[in-house]
Amino acid sequence: MKSRLIFLTVILVFANGVGRCERIKDIVEIQGVRSNPLTGVGLVIGLADTGDKTPPSQQMLTSILRNSGVVLDSGTLEGGNIALVLVTTELGPFARKGSRIDVDVSAVGDADSLQGGILLPTPLKGLDGRVYAVANGAISLGGWGVSGEKASIKKNHLTVGRIPGGATVEMSEIADFVENIVGQRFITLNLRNGDFSTAERISKVINKTYADSAIVIDAGTVKVRLPDRISRADVAGFIADITENNVKVDIPAVVVINERTGTIVVGENVGISSVAISQGSLVVKIKETQNVSQPTAMFSDAGETKVVDETLLGVKESEGYLIPIARLVTVSDLAKALNAIGATPTDLVAIFNALKKAGALQARLEIM
């Protein structure tokens, strides 16, 4: 079987060295504004003999029926019309009591499909053990499956489903993003990709509108002081105002290589010192054949006809070329130089590793 390495190169090219500007809201997170995971163990009913037959699901159904006044023994309940599931969701920072959130439902036992199932009311708890929401409703799979006596067919994953708006928030988790320090109010902006240059630019653009309000704490944190004139009701408007500003995002010089998929990502500021590269390729051809061997001997019946495997092996190495590459300024030039020597994905991985070893690659090399 012939294998092929898929190659994808992502190149960030900026004209005249001017990087693209991004809104502050797109490159930072406001400290304290985050979601919280909720989980719960529930029971799905109404399955067409595609559920699980494990004792835990039957015991859970028995407990539910007992709470409803029906006393049964778990051994009397048989069949695969129920399934034990794990229900998960995220409680948003601004979800309030009575609002609806989506939930994911995943089979825990040996259920074949949750198609057509209905989730019974399931309490969803946070990591503190408190119930924040209750989930129930019909499960949507985004797939289907049918089967007969001798064959079956299915599309997509049938043991994980989703219930849009399937949980009602019973208790909200109020996001606290305004910090009080020595009588002053602060908001902390956390950069998604820490960088001192980007943090300093964020600080400067905010201070142009609100003088002496922003200060850089480190490469990933900028603290912004709320002016005294900003009332509590105006905090949202203040955040919207400062995060709408655009800043140039500094991209570090880095080359990321995923050898398993052949993906190579080259950053904007990657440079190469003057160097010469020789690129050659080795071609190995292997062919398996079967020949019939029928030995004969004069005046004898001792020979036996057999099928003999034969392997033909050929090795050919193409000529290598030493190509000088001058000091490069842009990634575009780097891409053109590497394409000029006809480098394959495997060759590119080896070239970047060799450049790093030689000290000619002026960037950080990360191999996934």
Q: Is the residue at 153 inside a domain?
A: yes
Residue closest to 288 by CA, chosen among 272, 304, 310, 267: 310
Residue closest to 88 by CA, chosen among 41, 121, 43: 41
**Together in a domain, 308 and 270:** no
**Together in a domain, 185 and 222:** yes
Determine the pLDDT at residue 310. Answer: 58
Determine the pLDDT at residue 77. Answer: 66
Q: Is the residue at 262 inside a domain?
A: yes
Select from 142, 169, 196 the last residue of a domain: 169
**Together in a domain, 141 and 205:** no
Q: Is the residue at 258 inside a domain?
A: yes
pLDDT averaged per 10 residues, the chain (length 368)? 38 45 91 91 89 82 77 66 92 90 92 89 93 94 61 69 94 84 91 92 93 92 92 90 91 81 77 68 50 59 61 50 55 64 71 79 81
SS (H, E, C) the chain: CCCCCCCEEEECCCHHHCCCEEEHHHHEEECCCCCEEEEEEEEEECCCCCCCCCHHHHHHHHHHHHHCCCCCCHHHCCCCCCEEEEEEEEECCCCCCCCEEEEEEEECCCCCCCCCCEEEEEEEECCCCCEEEEEEEECECCCEEEECCCCEEEECCCCEEEEEEEEEECCCCCCCCCEEECCEEEEEEEECCCCHHHHHHHHHHHHHHCCCCEEEEECCEEEEECCCCCCHHHHHHHHHHHHCCEEECCCCCEEEEECCCCEEEECCCCEECCEEEEECCEEEEEEEEEEEECCCECCECCCCCEEEEEEEEEEEECCCEEEEECCCCCHHHHHHHHHHCCCCHHHHHHHHHHHHHHCCEECEEEEC
Q: Is the residue at 9 inside a domain?
A: no
Count how many domains the chain has: 4
Determine the pLDDT at residue 357. Answer: 82
**Together in a domain, 110 and 138:** yes
**Together in a domain, 119 and 214:** no
**Together in a domain, 264 and 337:** yes
Q: Is the residue at 164 inside a domain?
A: yes
Select from 120, 146, 169 the last residue of a domain: 169
The two structure tokens encoding residue 183: 């009588």
**Together in a domain, 157 and 203:** no
Q: Is the residue at 152 inside a domain?
A: yes
Q: Is the residue at 3 inside a domain?
A: no
The two structure tokens encoding residue 87: 């229900």
d(C-alpha 202, C-alpha 114), whole Å: 49
**Together in a domain, 141 and 240:** no
The two structure tokens encoding residue 148: 């007969």
The pTM assigned to this predicted structure is 0.66
**Together in a domain, 259 and 234:** no
State the residue range of the domain holding 181: 21-32+176-248
**Together in a domain, 41 and 119:** yes
**Together in a domain, 358 and 272:** yes
**Together in a domain, 221 and 302:** no
Tally the C-alpha atoms within 13 A of residue 317's C-alpha that lie toward its C-beta: 4
Select from 169, 191, 220 the last residue of a domain: 169
Q: Is the residue at 144 inside a domain?
A: yes
Determine the pLDDT at residue 321. Answer: 54
17: left (phi over 0), alpha (psi -120 to 50) or beta: left
Residue closest to 28 by CA, chosen among 183, 173, 206, 176: 206
